[in-house]
Amino acid sequence: MKEMNTKTNTRVEDILGIKYPIIQAPMNWLTNAEFVTAVSEAGGLGVLGFNAGLLAKDETVSIEEKLRSEIREIRKLTAKPFGMNLYSPQEGMEKDNVYISSTLDVAFEEEVKIFVVVGEVNRAFFKEIKNRGGIIIFRELTPSVVSAKIAEDSGVDIIVATGYDEGGHIPQRQIGTFSIVPAIVDAVDIPVLAAGGINDIRGVRAAFALGAKGVFVGTRFIVSEENPASEEAKQDIINSKSEDLLLVSGLQRSTPTKSAVELAQMYKSGRSTGEVEQEINKRGGLRIGMLDGEVSKGIISVNTAIDTIKEKKTVKGIIDELMADFQ
């Protein structure tokens, strides 16, 4: 086993140019220029998700141009660093995905240099980003020690160790945050971020006790003043408890909305994850409940520690609370 990392020149804050070692998870639809700016202005790293701000009804405007517009809006609002979300496909598949290359081109044209890359280890894709001067925060969907080592050798700057406790698409191995974080910390020499169930300062302190150099937070930021999630979704998270959560497929869990109860029953009765995911998409995916506010018709994806989310705060209030030990 590799010895614990004792380097002193690998602070997350130094690599990213931010005040506090807290990175906002991209969260797909639930980001926009105002929210990302709020995170960055409060000292963390705000990150644009895949569908950030894509609410315009004008279908003649491409996704890439909408993204470019959102980046430029952030530039008007803050001079602080922020990042963008990229999907990392299986090796050999990146050239078949036009959206991946066009998104990367837009990012570098707009001088975005920090990327939260989510998906599979892809050495060629990592190399392209590094060759163009990018900084990579890599979050494997189902993290492993082997992949973390390969990612480190491939030039990744920061690794996210995601536990089964997380919201969004959950890992396919039921390894909790308390288990996966120290395993990956011991395996690599680059900084590791802990992700999964971190909603208050106790979670942050636990993450650092496990050897993490920072935290990667999604669910807690949803229940903020600036997040574009619907007020109905925010209140649903506050009202729900960990013991209420339902596994609606092998990839997602939800608070017990009417739709989630139906989907969970489908999954329990033997429908495959693929079949249930298709049904979720037919019903509007995460957007209908979490963004549009039709909670009963959608699912509300959260981490397993929602008991600790008791009220809505400003983004600054959340970061000040979580980062109190660093102030």
Segment 11-41, tens digit of pLDDT:
999 999 999 999 999 998 899 999 999 999 9
Half-sphere exposure of 89 (CA within 13 A, CB side): 11
The pLDDT of residue 154 is above 60? yes
Q: Which residue, among 235, 243, 215, 228, has the nearest Cα to 300 in the 3D structure? A: 235
Taking the C-alpha atoms of residue 10 and residue 2, their distance in angstroms, rounded to an integer, is 17
> Do 85 and 118 meet the contact criterion of CB atoms below 8 Å apart?
yes
Taking the C-alpha atoms of residue 206 and residue 112, their distance in angstroms, rounded to an integer, is 32
Q: Distances from the Cα of 211 to the Cαs of 176, 177, 179, 189, 194, in angstroms?
A: 15, 12, 12, 11, 9
Question: How much is the pLDDT for 61?
Answer: 62
Tell me what percent of the residues of the chain surpass a pLDDT of 70.
Answer: 92
> Do 225 and 319 meet the contact criterion of CB atoms below 8 Å apart?
no
Taking the C-alpha atoms of residue 218 and residue 119, their distance in angstroms, rounded to an integer, is 17
Question: How much is the pLDDT for 101?
Answer: 79
Question: How much is the pLDDT for 29?
Answer: 82
Average pLDDT over residues 83-108: 80
Structure tokens, 66: 């909408």
Taking the C-alpha atoms of residue 258 and residue 256, their distance in angstroms, rounded to an integer, is 7
| 9 SS3 class | coil
Amino acid 234 reads K
Tell me the pLDDT of the chain averaged across its residues: 92
Cβ neighbours for 131, distance < 8 A, ≥ 6 positions apart: none
Question: How much is the pLDDT for 231?
Answer: 97
> Do 212 and 194 meet the contact criterion of CB atoms below 8 Å apart?
yes
Question: How much is the pLDDT for 103?
Answer: 85
DSSP 117-157: EEES--HHHHHHHHHTT-EEEEEESS--HHHHHHHHHTT-S
Query: Could you tell me which residues are beta bridge partners of residue 117?
Result: 86, 138
The pLDDT of residue 9 is above 60? no
> Do 83 and 46 meet the contact criterion of CB atoms below 8 Å apart?
yes
Structure tokens, 209: 């006790």
In tens, the pLDDT along 99-153 reads 677 888 899 999 999 999 999 999 999 999 999 999 999 999 999 999 999 999 9
In tens, the pLDDT along 43-54 reads 999 999 887 765
Average pLDDT over residues 63-67: 81
Q: Where are the beta strands (DSSP E) in 248-307?
A: 253-254
Least reliable range by pLDDT among 44-53, 153-162, 277-286: 44-53
End-to-end Cα separation, the chain, in angstroms: 34
Question: How much is the pLDDT for 60?
Answer: 58
Taking the C-alpha atoms of residue 305 and residue 215, their distance in angstroms, rounded to an integer, is 15
Taking the C-alpha atoms of residue 270 and residue 249, their distance in angstroms, rounded to an integer, is 10
The pLDDT of residue 224 is above 60? yes
Question: How much is the pLDDT for 241?
Answer: 96
Question: How much is the pLDDT for 110?
Answer: 94
Taking the C-alpha atoms of residue 220 and residue 197, their distance in angstroms, rounded to an integer, is 9
H/E element, 266: helix 258-268
Question: How much is the pLDDT for 6?
Answer: 45
Amino acid 203 reads G
H/E element, 325: none
User: Using alpha carbons only, what angle is made at residue 162 by residues 130 and 99, rounded to the nearest 5 degrees?
Assistant: 45
Q: Distances from the Cα of 188 to the Cαs of 7, 174, 183, 212, 261, in angstroms?
A: 11, 22, 9, 11, 41
Look at 66 and 310; give whichever has higher pLDDT. 310
Cβ neighbours for 252, distance < 8 A, ≥ 6 positions apart: 168, 169, 170, 277, 280, 299, 301
Q: Which domains does the chain have, with CATH numbers?
A: 12-225+310-326 (3.20.20.70), 246-301 (no CATH)
Question: How much is the pLDDT for 3?
Answer: 43
Question: How much is the pLDDT for 8?
Answer: 42
Amino acid 117 reads V
The pLDDT of residue 97 is above 80? no
Predicted TM-score (pTM) of the model is 0.92
Question: Residue holding tokens 């959950």?
Answer: 170
